[in-house]
């Protein structure tokens, strides 16, 4: 079949930084094309150019054999291109139907809503993207929001679909379902450009795959002849250890004790039920589970951000001190750091610079002050050290806004800040490597294990089973608000070293 997309010699610079460096890439109509590369390699930039959100400095775009020049996303949409962004773009206070038709229908008053809702319901059923068209988007799970994003493209009759990290927020069963949908869309002749960091997934679903590094295209290969190791090497430019060294050690005193924790939401639904666990010094306690089984509520209690209309019972103590109900600042003051699930919402200020974001929430620390004001030299030096230690990739300019960093590099900023908090006793990590590339995962995992070896107590909450198994000392299976089963150190170590089928065993306890 002919090429649906042909990009030739695309260049795009931000200041001195070449985000896209002479990129040429073709995608056959009716195929799924994977696009992989390190954080900051230029994948989102390239797809934003294809979608008309960014203008290339030079180069041409051909769609179905015709040269096009887009000056806005509207023109790209008219040419049959649709995009689901790395961060969703839905309006939470509107319904599914309203979100889908948003920007397409001119006047709200003339809309035949009942008919549109029916149409959207049917469209969903036809493509395996079932959704209640009348539901408010704010009440949907991330997996359901994703369905809305894709339905929006199908409703606009997009023939070329760009998906920027669509599975970063999905549970494994949701991912399987999404891939089945993508396959059937491709079989109908639609063309899909799939950006992801999960190499297993690219290998499972795509027909061909392109690798980018530092703005340039390293190569395009048929998926059938690709391996995970080779893709990783093409991405990073060196061999990547897909397994990290995680030596055992005897855990110390208990740091975090959670006993009989209950959480009943304001609407009466029970989110946590007599949840109990302990995390010791020098231990990583991993919580495995499908999202929506109480993870968010547990995190909100640990961090002091829970809904005060909820009914809460039980206790949380840190080194014997009760901390349930304290404010986030007071909890941080006890020596607790947290990497939240949603970094954009709660962990960074996008329009501030890297330097400010690296001390955000730690700005009262003595080390960053001189007299009664900030010591800007020290804050500047701190940023330099962190950029080095956490391999944060940013344009070399003077303290660029964090919004200009690629998604994975924003995550590294949050990790650096929280892991380096002085006097740290407990580190709570929620999805610490979401959206992070394979080389950076290796680095972050090493930092986490080093911190544990230095005696830190770590609570890890991740929907990536592989991550939970490779890092944890013990694993608790969270299901419907309780720890349903715990795997002890021996079981976890064996699972890691002997491929004992631990993944499947955990699977049985979390579904
Ligand atoms: N608006 C902008 N201003 C300045 N620099 C930018 C801007 N947008 C992107 N960049 C830079 O361009 C480079 C490529 O970024 P891009 O977002 O395309 O990476 P990516 O491959 O999508 O990475 P990730 O996997 O982390 O999402 C990065 O170094 C980023 O900092
Ligand atoms: Mg990106």
pLDDT tens by residue, 100-117: 988 665 555 667 788 889
> Counting Cβ atoms within 10 Å, is residue 488 exposed (0-12), middle (13-18) or buried (19+)?
exposed
Average pLDDT over residues 195-217: 94
What are the pLDDT digits (tens) for 314-353? 999 999 999 999 999 999 999 999 998 777 777 888 889 9
**Atom 1 in ligand 1: which residue has the minimum CA distance?**
404
Cα dist from 172 to 68, 271, 466, whole Å = 38, 21, 11
Pairing of strands 208-213, 191-195: unpaired
What are the pLDDT digits (tens) for 89-103? 888 889 999 999 886
CA pair distance 106, 347, nearest whole angstrom = 37
Any atom of ligand 1 within 6 Å of the Cβ of 476: no
The reported pLDDT for the residue numbered 510 is 86
**Atom 10 in ligand 1: which residue has the minimum CA distance?**
404
Q: Going along 49-168, which residue ranges are E strands?
A: 58-63, 66-68, 81-84, 160-164
**Atom 2 in ligand 1: which residue has the minimum CA distance?**
404
Pairing of strands 457-462, 283-288: parallel
Statement: residue 365 has pLDDT above 70: yes
Q: What is the band of 47 on the pLDDT scale with cuts at 50, 70, 90?
A: very high
* 274, two tokens: 């007599």
Handedness of CA 197, 199, 204, 206 (dihedral sign): positive
Pairing of strands 66-68, 58-63: antiparallel
Provide, rounded to the nearest whole percent, the portion of the chain with pLDDT above 90: 64
CA pair distance 147, 425, nearest whole angstrom = 40
Q: For a substitution probing ligand 1, which of 17, 25, 162 has the most ligand atoms within 8 Å of its CB?
A: 17
Q: What is the band of 142 on the pLDDT scale with cuts at 50, 70, 90?
A: confident
**Atom 28 in ligand 1: which residue has the minimum CA distance?**
40
Q: Which atom of ligand 1 is nearest to the CA of 42?
A: 18
Q: Are 193 and 162 in contact (CB under 8 A)?
A: yes
Statement: residue 230 has pLDDT above 60: yes
Give residues with Cβ within 8 angstroms of 103, minimum separation 6: none
Any atom of ligand 1 within 6 Å of the Cβ of 406: yes
* 295, two tokens: 């993870």
Q: Are 12 and 63 in contact (CB under 8 A)?
A: no
Provide, rounded to the nearest whole percent, the portion of the chain with pLDDT above 70: 97
CA pair distance 478, 472, nearest whole angstrom = 15
Statement: residue 70 has pLDDT above 80: yes
The reported pLDDT for the residue numbered 240 is 73
Any atom of ligand 1 within 6 Å of the Cβ of 121: no
Model's pTM, two decimal places? 0.80
Question: Any idea what the Cα angle at residue 62 is, between residues 86 and 47, rounded to 5°?
Answer: 10
The reported pLDDT for the residue numbered 356 is 93
What is the DSSP code (8-state) at residue 141?
-
Greatest mean pLDDT among 31-40, 132-141, 433-442, 495-504 lies in 31-40
Any atom of ligand 1 within 6 Å of the Cβ of 210: no
Ligand closest in space to the Cα of 41:
1
Ligand closest in space to the Cα of 437:
1
Any atom of ligand 1 within 6 Å of the Cβ of 394: yes
* 330, two tokens: 């007071």
Q: Are 448 and 432 in contact (CB under 8 A)?
A: yes
Give residues with Cβ within 8 angstroms of 159, minimum separation 6: 4, 80, 81, 189, 190, 191
The reported pLDDT for the residue numbered 163 is 94
**Nearest of 201, 200, 183 to residue 192 by alpha carbon:** 183
Statement: residue 436 has pLDDT above 70: yes
φ/ψ of 135, rounded to 5, equals -70, 145
Place of tokens 């690296």: 358
Q: What is the band of 367 on the pLDDT scale with cuts at 50, 70, 90?
A: confident
Q: For a substitution probing ligand 1, which of 36, 45, 202 has the most ligand atoms within 8 Å of its CB?
A: 45
The reported pLDDT for the residue numbered 105 is 59
Any atom of ligand 1 within 6 Å of the Cβ of 407: yes
The reported pLDDT for the residue numbered 236 is 86
Helices (H), 373-476: 376-389, 407-419, 438-453, 465-471
Q: What is the band of 23 on the pLDDT scale with cuts at 50, 70, 90?
A: very high
The reported pLDDT for the residue numbered 1 is 63
Q: For a substitution probing ligand 1, which of 10, 11, 40 has the most ligand atoms within 8 Å of its CB?
A: 40
**Atom 19 in ligand 1: which residue has the minimum CA distance?**
40
Total residue length of the chain: 511
Q: Are 476 and 277 in contact (CB under 8 A)?
A: yes
Handedness of CA 502, 433, 163, 342 (dihedral sign): positive
The reported pLDDT for the residue numbered 185 is 94
Instruction: Indicate the average pLDDT of the chain.
Output: 90
The reported pLDDT for the residue numbered 262 is 97
Distance 449 CA to ligand 1 centre (A): 28
Any atom of ligand 1 within 6 Å of the Cβ of 45: yes
Q: Going along 98-202, which residue ranges are E strands?
A: 160-164, 191-195
Statement: residue 502 has pLDDT above 70: yes
- Sorted by where each starts, the structural domains of the chain and their CATH numbers stand as 3-236 (3.40.50.300), 254-510 (3.40.50.300)
* 268, two tokens: 């009466």
**Atom 4 in ligand 1: which residue has the minimum CA distance?**
404
**Atom 22 in ligand 1: which residue has the minimum CA distance?**
44
The reported pLDDT for the residue numbered 396 is 66
Distance 261 CA to ligand 2 centre (A): 38
CA pair distance 335, 456, nearest whole angstrom = 10
The reported pLDDT for the residue numbered 247 is 83
Cα–chain center distance at 110: 39
Any atom of ligand 1 within 6 Å of the Cβ of 404: yes
Average pLDDT over residues 440-455: 91
Distance 307 CA to ligand 2 centre (A): 32
Q: What is the band of 508 on the pLDDT scale with cuts at 50, 70, 90?
A: confident
Q: Are 37 and 193 in contact (CB under 8 A)?
A: no
What are the pLDDT digits (tens) for 369-404? 888 889 999 999 999 999 999 988 887 668 889 988
Cα dist from 469 to 412, 457, 500, whole Å = 21, 17, 11
The reported pLDDT for the residue numbered 153 is 92
* 399, two tokens: 């303290």
Any atom of ligand 1 within 6 Å of the Cβ of 408: yes
Helix-strand-coil split of the chain, %, nearest 5 = 35, 25, 35
Please report, for the chain, how many H helices and E strands are present, in that order. 18, 22
Listed range (163-177, 199-213, 280-294, 310-324) with the worst mean pLDDT: 163-177
**Atom 17 in ligand 1: which residue has the minimum CA distance?**
406
* 94, two tokens: 């509107």
What is the DSSP code (8-state) at residue 53?
S
Statement: residue 287 has pLDDT above 60: yes
**Atom 7 in ligand 1: which residue has the minimum CA distance?**
404
The reported pLDDT for the residue numbered 104 is 65
Distance 46 CA to ligand 1 centre (A): 10
Distance 17 CA to ligand 1 centre (A): 10
Average pLDDT over residues 21-26: 97
> Counting Cβ atoms within 10 Å, is residue 153 exposed (0-12), middle (13-18) or buried (19+)?
buried
Cα–chain center distance at 112: 37
**Nearest of 60, 6, 62, 12 to residue 33 by alpha carbon:** 6
């Amino acid at each position: 079949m002919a090429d649906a997309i042909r990009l030739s010699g695309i260049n795009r610079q931000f200041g001195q930084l070449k985000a896209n460096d002479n990129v040429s890439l073709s995608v056959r109509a009716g195929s799924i094309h994977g696009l992989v590369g390190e954080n900051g390699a230029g994948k989102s930039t390239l797809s934003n150019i294809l979608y008309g959100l960014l203008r290339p400095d030079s180069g041409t775009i051909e769609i179905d054999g015709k040269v096009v020049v887009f000056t806005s996303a509207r023109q790209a949409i008219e040419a049959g291109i649709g995009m689901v962004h790395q961060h969703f773009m839905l309006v939470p206070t509107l319904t599914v139907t309203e979100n889908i038709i948003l920007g397409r229908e001119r006047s709200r008053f003339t809309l035949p809503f009942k008919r549109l809702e029916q149409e959207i319901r049917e469209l969903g059923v036809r493509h395996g993207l079932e959704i209640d068209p009348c539901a408010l988007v704010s009440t949907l799970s991330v997996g359901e929001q994703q369905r809305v994003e894709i339905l929006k493209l199908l409703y606009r009759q997009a023939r070329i679909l760009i998906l920027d990290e669509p599975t970063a927020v999905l549970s494994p069963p949701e991912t399987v379902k999404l891939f089945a949908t993508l396959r059937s869309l491709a079989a109908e002749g639609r063309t899909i450009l799939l950006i992801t960091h999960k190499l297993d997934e690219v290998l499972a679903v795509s027909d061909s795959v392109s690798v980018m590094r530092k703005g340039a295209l390293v190569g395009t290969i048929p998926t059938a002849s690709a391996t995970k190791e080779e893709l990783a090497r093409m991405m990073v430019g060196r061999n990547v250890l897909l397994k990290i060294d995680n030596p055992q050690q005897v855990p110390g005193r208990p740091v975090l004790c959670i006993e009989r924790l209950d959480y009943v939401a304001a609407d009466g639904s029970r989110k946590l039920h007599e949840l109990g666990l302990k995390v010791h010094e020098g231990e990583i306690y991993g919580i495995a589970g499908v999202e929506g089984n109480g993870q968010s509520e547990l995190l909100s209690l640990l961090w002091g951000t829970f809904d005060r209309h909820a009914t809460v019972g039980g206790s949380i103590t840190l080194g014997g001190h009760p901390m349930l109900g304290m404010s986030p600042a007071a909890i941080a003051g006890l020596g607790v750091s947290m990497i939240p699930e949603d970094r954009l919402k709660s962990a960074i200020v996008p329009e501030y610079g890297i330097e400010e974001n690296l001390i955000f929430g730690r700005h009262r620390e003595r080390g960053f002050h001189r007299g009664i004001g900030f010591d800007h030299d020290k804050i500047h030096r701190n940023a330099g050290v962190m950029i080095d230690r956490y391999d944060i990739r940013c344009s070399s300019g003077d303290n660029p806004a964090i919004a200009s960093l690629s998604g994975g590099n924003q995550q590294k900023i949050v990790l650096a800040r929280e892991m380096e908090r002085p006097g740290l006793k407990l580190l709570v990590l929620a999805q610490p490597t979401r959206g992070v590339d394979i080389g950076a995962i290796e680095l972050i995992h090493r930092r986490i294990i080093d911190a544990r070896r230095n005696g830190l107590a770590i609570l890890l909450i991740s929907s990536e089973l592989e991550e939970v198994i490779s890092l944890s000392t013990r694993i608790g299976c969270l299901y419907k608000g309780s720890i349903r089963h715990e795997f002890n150190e021996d079981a976890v170590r064996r699972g890691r070293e002997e491929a004992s089928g631990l993944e499947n065993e955990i699977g049985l306890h979390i579904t």
